[in-house]
Structure 1
Amino acid sequence: MTDVTIQATDGGSFTGYLAEPPSGQGPGIVVIQEIFGVNEQIRDYCDFLAGQGYFALCPDLFWRQEPGVQLTDRTEAEWQKAFKLYQGFNEVKGVDDLIATMELLRDHPGVTGKVGAVGFCLGGKLAYLMATRSDSDATVAYYGVGIDRHLDECAAITRPLLMHIAGKDSFVPPEAQAQIKDTLGGNSLVAIYDYPDQQHAFARTEGQHWDPDAAQAAEERTLAFFREHLF
């Protein structure tokens, strides 16, 4: 497990946390952070994916504001800082950084076959945008916030996309969820799983709304999806 340097398309560079599979070979997955930066939890998730046979690379998307952000969801001060970083985040440049990350991962020694992406919260929205704007071979979006504002891009989806939607998500109101399902539900490339009793971030381990059973169900579906489309 190591940090790598990624060159931004508009100049400068940023870092990413890379976890490698024990075999030294396998597909790649770009892991897209929440609003808490590349923290211990997201690094642990990269390590978990590496244990499943993937090269997992999570880039620091807040580097233009403050490199190396590592926050938790345990204090009000950290929440306030996370929201401030989110408000100052340039979404277009963030997607560009993710595409640069994906290109680096495709060329990394040992990466064989395909490269996909998975994201949570802010990362869930960015995962959807990777499905519409990049060559990600398979993409998973966990409870993405604001996807309904980009449904006009849905025609650009040409590779498989898996979406996990929390039915009681306080950041994604029912009408937004309905728009997403109505617009994408008929697309054969898109699989949508609904968790009707779950709140936002139900898969964030030990988080306020963590639900072990729902998190495990989503994880199993995600792993099966990646096994089908990346190996």
Structure 2
Amino acid sequence: MADFAPVATLEGDASFDAYVAKPDATASAAIIVIQEIFGVNEGIRRKCDSWARAGYLAYAPDLFWREQPHVELDADVPADFDAALGHMQRLNQDQAIRDIEATIRAARAAMGGNGKVGVVGYCLGGRLSFMAACRTDGDAFVAYYGVGIDGLLGEQHAIGKPVLLHVPTADGFVPPEAQKAMHDGLAANRHVTIHDYDGLDHGFAAEMGARRDPAAAELADRRTAEFFAQHLA
């Protein structure tokens, strides 16, 4: 069962929608799926549905809600891509992290207050997932092709839970020098694991569209599933 449901902000002064997919049986853990710059579109909803089929309670918060609720864009449509960049530039990422924390709390409450919660994000969501590892009380964090993580390395001292990064080496939005900074800067952090995907570009694990590389997406998703199975048990 899946549909949008309201989530209260941390301040309790407003609410925003999150797509919520529920498993058939009672979930003992939840996964927060953090959108790309294209909003909580069909691809993100499919990822939630997949986690629900695997037995998790899955939430995808609408992080653009303060500017425009329910943005749904297609990465393969040039006009949509341009619009998505505008939404990303207008997003207050610190506020987005607070909305992610609110979603983590909502997921825990839905499980009776004591279930573990993982966070997985893509593109912009990959960056936000890394930020969430530094700033929220989630239990495990995964970032697919997160942009600008090299500029966040000063926050890594706050990471106390497992983090997994999927890094395509030909990412047009994360140049080689940024990738090297990530590898060098995180090498001594015992909580962080990095997997490289040689020759692949940004968006390779999208659920649909021209960006998807099926073999690499399946490999990365299997690693993510094993990671969450280990750390959310």
Q: TM-score, structure 1 length as denominator?
A: 0.97
Rounded Cα–Cα distance in structure 2 between residues aligned with 1:111 and 1:204 = 32
Amino acid at match of 1:180: M
**2:83 is matched with which residue?**
81
Q: Which of 152, 155, 158 is the aligned partner of 2:157?
A: 155
1:223 corresponding residue in structure 2: 225
8 Å CA contact retained: 1:26, 1:110: no
Structure 2 residue identity aligned to 1:72: D
1:29–1:111 Cα change, 3 Å:
farther
SS in 2 for 1:102: helix
Distance (Å, rounded) in 2 between the aligned partners of 1:214 and 1:133: 30
| Paired residues of 1:28 and 1:111 also in contact (CA < 8 A) | no
Report the Cα offset of residue 22 of structure 1: 1.2
Task: State the 1:206 CA deviation.
Answer: 3.0
The equivalences for 1:27-176 within 5 A come to 27-109=29-111, 113-176=115-178
Gaps of 5+ in 1: none
SS in 2 for 1:22: coil
What does residue 7 of structure 2 align with? 6
Distance change (3 Å), C-alpha of 1:136 and 1:59: same
Q: CA deviation at 1:111?
A: 7.4
| 8 Å contact kept, 2:48–2:60 | yes
Listed as ranges, the gaps of 5+ residues in structure 2 are none
Q: Which moved more, 1:36-45 or 1:2-11?
A: 2-11
Asked whether the 8 Å contact 2:32–2:103 carries over to 1, the reply is yes
SS at match of 1:123: helix
Aligned to 1:224, the other structure's residue is in SS state helix
* Contact 2:28-2:111 within 8 A present in 1 as well: no
Distance (Å, rounded) in 1 between the aligned partners of 2:56 and 2:183: 30
Residues 27 and 111, structure 1, Cα contact 8 Å, conserved in 2: no
TM-align CA RMSD: 1.2
Once the two structures are superposed, what CA deviation does each residue of 1:72-111 show, in whole Å capped at 9, x if it has no partner? 1121111111111011010000001000110111100467
Contact 2:46 2:207 in 1 (8 A): no
Paired positions, count: 231
The answer as to whether partners of 1:55 and 1:111 remain within 8 angstroms in 2 is no
Deviation at 1:149, TM superposition (A): 0.9
Residue 95 of structure 1 aligns to a residue in which SS? helix
Higher alpha-carbon deviation: 19-28 or 130-139: 19-28
Contact 1:203 1:211 in 2 (8 A): yes
- Alpha-carbon separation, structure 2, partners of 1:47 and 1:5: 18
Larger mean CA deviation between 182-191 and 35-44 belongs to: 182-191
Identical-pair percentage: 45
